Structure 1
Amino acid sequence: MVDQSTIPLADQRYHTPAPIDLLLGSDILGQVLDGSKVSLGPGRPIAFGTIFDFTLLGPIHDLYTAPVSKTESAHIVSAQPELEVSTHDIRKSLEKFWESEEPQLHVETTPLQDQCEEIFRTTTTRKPSGQYTVTLPFLHNMPELGSTHAIALRRFLNLEKKLQADPYLRVKYIDFMADYQKLGHMSPCHPSTFAHKPHFYIPHHGIFKSGSDKLRTVFDGSCSKPIR
């Protein structure tokens, strides 16, 4: 049996409760271990060598004197630490915790959710570039959008006044629109091309990030609109 006190441990006070300094995932475990290990004897942990010195892994139940009587205990974090709780209350609290963490075996879905999943399953494709594309899950019985042209036009005219009063903002906004068109996010369109199709006008405006001259354009899709 090896004397544990002679092994240079990464944490000499591992047996003393203390805040966690660092969590390492199994994805880098192979980079941490150096291949050496020392057995502390039957029923005791094994000391594995790491780049941080040795660390213990295994059972530790016989390193300490077993109590005469077995006591069930748990640490409950409560907003009322002075509140006394019985063993029965602790068990109930733990049961509720584990039940809340368990995933549902069967999740009930609505017809709309099933339709959305079917669209994703049947229309998802992958481009040569590696990007995935999928058809947008539009509703067959689309709700009435109402007439959004008037309020979008009014917001656009207000934006024009703002751009005329601020030449720097105007330049930035024109650059943004040119980039959007260049990237294919938008294209010129005459109202006659969609006059008899469902359509929606989205107002937009630009703001500068705090302490920066970078323009951020905000599309107001939740703009109040009249319903026909």
Structure 2
Amino acid sequence: MLPNAHVDVSALTHLEKLPLADLDFALPGNIDILIGAAVFPHLLLPNIVRSEQDNLPPAIETVFGYVIMGAVPTSHSSRYTTSCCSVLQENNINSLVKRFWELEEISAPPSMSHKDLECEEHFRATTVRDNSGRYIVALPFCGDPYSLGDSYAVALRRFHCLERKLNSSPNLRRAYNDVIRDYIDKYFLSPVVSDNADCVPAYYIPHHGVVREDKISTKLRVVLDASCRTTSGQSINDILHTGPNLQGDLFNIIINFRLFKIALSADCRQMFLNIGVHESDRRFQRIFYRFSNDEPITVYQFNRVCFGLRSSPYHA
């Protein structure tokens, strides 16, 4: 017997001198073991000790000793409450039933925040497709681009740091050059020919390489540090919407694997880089690069959604 309220044992005189299965049956405690219906009947023995009063529970003999089942008075109330092998305070029943339904209830997806709704509106109003069918998106600003300070100096300084690392490792330099050339050949990246930076703000992004030895195809990924702060204390990521989380629910994805005998898993190659960016927003995706120390440093800008911007996962 496992109550969650103290049992008034003074009324249970018929239990005196019985070898009980649990000497502390009258006190609330932790559950030590759950016995299923398939096993419980085999534990029962024939003896049953009853009280002279019909409203008191009988003691049933088991292989563990006598157990008490039925309605019993609690120490806090003169009323009797009943539950199978346990005692419940009557004022707890409502909260327990409520908790049961809360556990069984299927949770509804949370409603989108005001910022997420703004981002969705911006996406619907600005996303188009070009003649080839490629999606073209605009950066979802939540702040004023004119609030960005100077990012040129810090990005140039960070590039010189990267270049020293590339110069010390010919293999890394070769791999980095190959990635940048591939970006240029595929029109992911273009050199900036003319600039009116005095009139319109721009953002220069420091970048570095992440080497993944476990990758079969591209072992080096160029990652942009779009959280690098400008002289105003803000970065491009500070003034971009993140957007609502559109990823599938992991639990549902795992459950879906049980629907069929065979499951296929795939990845989108250069997924972000296959989404175009409006020409007016490309100036916020600029980087410095040169293929050797003998060349002048060139300013490039991404024509596609790049890895490192806060809004990129949402766009993809």
The superposition leaves residues 177-225 of structure 1 with CA deviations (integer Å, 9 ceiling, x where unpaired) of 1111112121111573434211111001113114568112121111233
Q: Distance in 2 between matches of 1:154 and 1:194?
A: 19
Find the counterpart in structure 1 of residue 182 from structure 2. 179
Alignment match of 1:118 (pick from 117, 121, 127)? 121
Q: 1:89: which partner in 2?
A: 95
3-state SS of 1:187 partner: strand
Helix, strand or coil at the partner of 2:184: helix
Gaps of 5+ in 2: 1-37, 39-81, 234-316
The match for 2:224 among 213, 219, 222 is 219
Q: Determine helix, strand or coil for the equivalent of 2:162.
A: helix
1:101 to 107, 113, 118: 107
Asked if the contact 2:213/2:219 (under 8 Å) is kept, the reply is no
C-alpha RMSD over aligned residues? 3.6
Aligned residues: 146
Identity of aligned residues (%): 37
SS for the counterpart of 1:95 is: helix
| Matches of 2:193 and 2:131, distance apart in 1 | 33
Residues in 1 aligned to 2:189 and 2:93: alpha-carbon distance in whole angstroms: 64
With over 3 angstroms needed to count, the CA separation of the structure-2 counterparts of 1:219 and 1:157, relative to structure 1, is same
Q: Are residues 96 and 222 of structure 1, via their aligned partners in 2, closer, same or farther at CA, if it must alter by over 3 Å?
A: same
- Match of 1:178, SS state, is helix
Residue-by-residue CA offset, 1:155-198 (whole Å, 9 max, x unaligned):
11111111111111111111111111112121111573434211
2:140 is paired with a residue whose SS is: coil
Partner of 1:164: 167
Distance verdict in 2 for CA 1:133–1:188, change over 3 Å: closer
Whole-angstrom distance in 1 between the partners of 2:214 and 2:228? 28
Residue 192 in structure 1 maps to residue 198 in structure 2? no
Q: Is the alpha carbon distance of 1:130 and 1:159 closer, same or farther for their aligned partners in structure 2, counting shifts above 3 Å?
A: same
Range with bigger deviation, 217-226 or 87-96: 87-96
Q: Using structure 1 for the length normalisation, give the TM-score.
A: 0.50
Q: Aligned partners of 2:83 and 2:145: how far apart in 1?
A: 59
Change in 2 beyond 3 A, CA 1:108/1:163:
closer
What residue in structure 1 maps to residue 291 of structure 2?
none
Question: Aligned partners of 2:83, 2:138: CA distance in 1, in Å?
Answer: 56
Task: Report the equivalent of 2:154.
Answer: 151
Which stretch of the first structure deviates more once superposed, 140-149 or 93-102?
A: 93-102
> What are the ranges of 5 or more consecutive residues in structure 1 without an aligned counterpart?
1-15, 17-70, 74-83
Q: CA deviation at 1:114?
A: 4.8
SS state at 2:148 partner: coil
Deviation at 1:88, TM superposition (A): 3.1
User: Normalising by the residue count of structure 2, what TM-score does the alignment of the two structures yield?
Assistant: 0.38
Rate the CA distance shift 1:72–1:124 in 2: closer, same or farther, 3 A: farther
Secondary structure (helix, strand or coil) at the match of 2:191 reads coil
* Aligned equivalent of 1:201, options 191, 200, 204: 204
Q: Give the distance between the partners of 2:156 and 2:123, measured in 1 at CA.
A: 35
